[in-house]
Amino acid sequence: MPVDQSPQPAPRYARAVVFGACGFLGREVVRLLLASGASVLGIDTKPWPGAQPREYRHSAEGAGALAEAAEFLRQTDEPAGFFHLAGLADAQVCQREPALAQRLNVDLVAETLARLADVPCAFVFPSTGIVYGDGLDRPALEDDPLLPAAEYARGKIEAEGLVRAACQPGGGVLRGAVARLSNIYGYGGGENTVLGRILAQAKSGGPIQVWDESPVRDFLFVGDAAEGLLKLGLAALSLPEKPGNFLIANLSTGLGTSVGALVDLCAELFHTSRLPQERVPGPDGRLSSLVLDNSRLTTLTGWRPETDLRTGLTLSIRGEGAAQE
């Protein structure tokens, strides 16, 4: 009998919940899920911006939102995902208000995992590359030591541990997928990142100036980040029960760009001027570098970033796509 070699449809989610649906990354995840044919429940204190799309329903955060999410996901035997994109992403606020950071970035994760313990779905959690620190002279690997030097990184490391513990073999039907994200950017992001501040200066007519041009970072367009999250969750759903129900992978370009080169590129694209950095570098200044190796995610899912930095910045300027770390 001849073997059917016709292309098979790509796996997709039948249902998904996006907690933090109206945030910068959440909106893009919702968009991709709906485009793939999924039914989506969004949870956020903010209302959905604009007209509510078909196959999307919205729930305000509250005591019943997570129970509603669990019931929504139970209503399918096909692939389902819960994208936990809620939390406090401003590292400076986390440092100033550790109790608030603990509540939003750790305790809320624990509460959500408890609600979903008996729900067969992928629990997709965005962590951060900041957990590696910024002192490596090569792209960071998932098995590198973690450095909880700041409150934001500490909270993400603790939350990663909660997801891992909730998804142990034999412990339930939940599958965990943790993505350590590099610096995410795109249209619609705030100004609390280095790229957000550079874009704000450029859009206002410049000139562009930053305090320090030497740091090297890994800048990933938000559309590519959202696609990577979806694919990592599907990979977790396809895991055999043994050796585990948990995946962790860097979500990044794997390419480093200095802040100075970023300023030059933005000045070129916006046709504006730039000023020298504000800081006078010392003779023994340590280079701050944070680039993430993305080979594990590529091997697991076939995902690769499709948007180079020039293209992504151009889309950001035009108001297409969605910009942050």
Predicted confidence at residue 323, as pLDDT, reads: 39
Predicted confidence at residue 101, as pLDDT, reads: 96
Enumerate domains of the chain plus CATH numbers: 15-318 (3.40.50.720)
Q: Note the pTM of the prediction, 2 decimals.
A: 0.92
Measured CA angle at 290 (ends 286, 294), to 5 deg? 155
Joined tokens for residue 155: 């909270």
Predicted confidence at residue 324, as pLDDT, reads: 43
- Give the separation between CA 241 and CA 288, rounded to whole angstroms: 40
Digit-coded pLDDT (tens) for 241-298: 655 789 999 999 999 999 999 999 999 999 999 998 887 766 667 789 999 999 999 9
Q: How many residues does the chain have?
A: 325
Non-local (6+) Cβ contacts of 193 within 8 A are 183, 185, 323, 324, 325
DSSP string, 51-111: SPPTTEEEE-SSTTHHHHHHHHHHT-SS-EEEEE--S---HHHHHH-HHHHHIIIIIHHHH
Non-local (6+) Cβ contacts of 133 within 8 A are 147, 149, 290
Digit-coded pLDDT (tens) for 154-187: 999 999 999 999 998 766 789 999 999 999 999 8
State the CB neighbour count (10 A cutoff) for residue 82: 29
Give the three-class secondary structure for 177.
Answer: strand
DSSP string, 240-255: -TTT-SEEEEEES-S-
- Give the separation between CA 231 and CA 301, rounded to whole angstroms: 6
Digit-coded pLDDT (tens) for 54-87: 999 999 877 689 999 999 999 999 999 999 999 9
Radius of gyration of the chain (CA): 20
